[in-house]
Amino acid sequence: MKKRVVITGMGAITPIGHNVKETWGNLLKGTNGVGFISRFDASALPVKIAAEVKNYNPEDHFDHKEVKKLDLYTQFAMIAAREAIADSGLAEGNYDPNRAGVITGAGIGGILTFEEECNKCITQGPRRISPFFIPKMIGNIAAAHVSIEHNLKGINFNVMSACASANHALGTALRSIQYGDADLIVCGGTEAAVTPLAVGGFTAMRALSTRNDSPETASRPFDAQRDGFVMSEGSVFLVLEELEHAKKRGAKIYAELAGYGASGDAYHITAPAENGEGSSRAMQAALADAGMKPEDIDYINAHGTSTPLNDKGETQSIKNTFGDYAYKVKINSTKSMVGHMLGAAAAVEAMVCVKSIMNGIIHPTMNLVNPDPDCDLDYTPNVPVEKAVSATLSNSLGFGGHNSAIIIKKYI
DSSP symbol at 110? S
How far apart are the C-alpha atoms of 335 and 231, rounded to whole Å? 10
The CATH classification number of 5-255 equals 3.40.47.10
Q: Determine the length of the chain.
A: 412
Catalytic residue among 303, 363, 375, 402: 303
Give residue 49's pLDDT: 98
How far apart are the C-alpha atoms of 359 and 255, rounded to whole Å? 12
Give per-residue pLDDT as tens, 59-92: 999 999 999 999 999 999 999 999 999 999 999 9
Catalytic residue among 163, 187, 353, 375: 163
pLDDT(313) > 90: yes
Give residue 31's pLDDT: 98
Burial status of residue 39 (CB atoms within 10 A of its CB: 0-12, 13-18, 19 or more)? middle
Give per-residue pLDDT as tens, 231-255: 999 999 999 999 999 999 999 999 9
Give residue 275's pLDDT: 85
Task: Establish whether 18 is a catalytic residue.
Answer: no
Task: Establish whether 340 is a catalytic residue.
Answer: yes
Calculate helix-pair angle for 20-29, 345-359, nearest 10 degrees.
80
Closest to 8 in 3D by CA, of 182, 257, 286? 257
| Cβ partners under 8 Å of residue 223, min gap 6 | 306, 367, 368, 369, 370, 371, 372
The CATH classification number of 261-406 equals 3.40.47.10
Task: Establish whether 61 is a catalytic residue.
Answer: no
Give residue 193's pLDDT: 98
Count CB neighbours of 48 within 10 A: 19
Torsion from C-alpha of 344, 348, 354, 359, nearest 10 degrees: 180
Can 5-255 and 261-406 be said to share one CATH topology? yes
How far apart are the C-alpha atoms of 379 and 347, rounded to whole Å? 20
Domain extent listing, the chain: 5-255, 261-406
Count CB neighbours of 129 within 10 A: 14
Strands, DSSP E only, in 145-232? 156-159, 184-192
* Mean local confidence (pLDDT), 123-137: 96
Q: Is 147 helix (H, G, I), strand (E, B) or coil?
A: helix
Catalytic residue among 340, 353, 363, 375: 340
* Mean local confidence (pLDDT), 327-355: 98
- For 262-327, where are the alpha helices, taking DSSP H only? 277-290, 308-322
Residue 20 pLDDT level (bands cut at 50, 70, 90): very high
Beta bridge partners of 208: 229
Q: Is 135 helix (H, G, I), strand (E, B) or coil?
A: helix
Buried b (16+ CB within 10 A) or exposed e, 195-234: bbbbbeebbeeebbbebeeebebbbbbbbeebebbbbbbb
Give residue 1's pLDDT: 80
How far apart are the C-alpha atoms of 258 and 252, rounded to whole Å? 17
Please provide the average confidence, as pLDDT, over all residues in the chain: 97
* Mean local confidence (pLDDT), 383-395: 98
Residue 274 pLDDT level (bands cut at 50, 70, 90): confident
Percent of the chain exceeding pLDDT 90 equals: 98
How far apart are the C-alpha atoms of 3 and 397, rounded to whole Å? 27
